Amino acid sequence: MVNIGIVGSGKGSNCRAILQSIRDGKLDAKATVVISDVLEAPILQIAGEFGVPNAYLPPGHFRTRLEPIVEEQLVEMLRNAGAEVVVLAGFMRVLKEPMLEAFPRQIINIHPSLLPKFPGLEAWKQALAANDKWTGVTVHYVDAQVDHGDIILQREVPILPGDTPESLHARIQAVEHELYPEALAQVFRDMGRS
């Protein structure tokens, strides 16, 4: 069993999918903590529903990243919880050296496109604007670049005629909820832990 720490900023739908996979015995892991940089984020309530300790981490003054001292606090919180793998579930800040050095090749992210296409925010809108026929979901290791790093798993999602940003995003999220637990299981196998 692998201890994971989940870090997110929002609704927590991927967090819920992962915690449900653990509860259903499909993912050999234990979520030891859920941390959010947003005080009222639903992800914290989801953690509570599943009986997972959760915490709010005040992010500091920067908009797109944590202040260095705050990122050190995040490292400490995850270490204190015994997290071996850090799972980003809608975390809207770029991680820097403190986290990358503390958890080398142990931070996993999910992104709503077929990376390297459409990194950044609202990738499904980027795919629609490009008139692509396909987009998808990528689970990858986190490195120093945004939405970059070795790919663990990808799955395609068709862009249908008449798709709106909302309809496409909903279909992408449905795939995310299946793919993220699958990708984590693969990571754990690669670690020799499943």
- The Cβ of residue 166 has, within 10 Å, a number of other Cβ atoms equal to 8
Cα separation, 71 vs 136, in Å, equals: 30
Task: Tell me the three-class secondary structure of 45-97, residue by residue.
Answer: HHHHHCCCCEEECCCCCCCCECCHHHHHHHHHHHHHCCCCEEEECCCCCECCH
Cα separation, 17 vs 180, in Å, equals: 8
Backbone φ and ψ of 32, nearest 5°: -95, -20
Is 61 one of the annotated active-site residues of the chain? no
The interaxial angle of helices 42-49 and 13-23, nearest 10 deg, is: 10
First to last CA, the chain: 7
- The residue with tokens 């015995």 is 25
Which residue is catalytic, options 111, 140, 169, 177?
111
Catalytic residues, by residue number, are 111
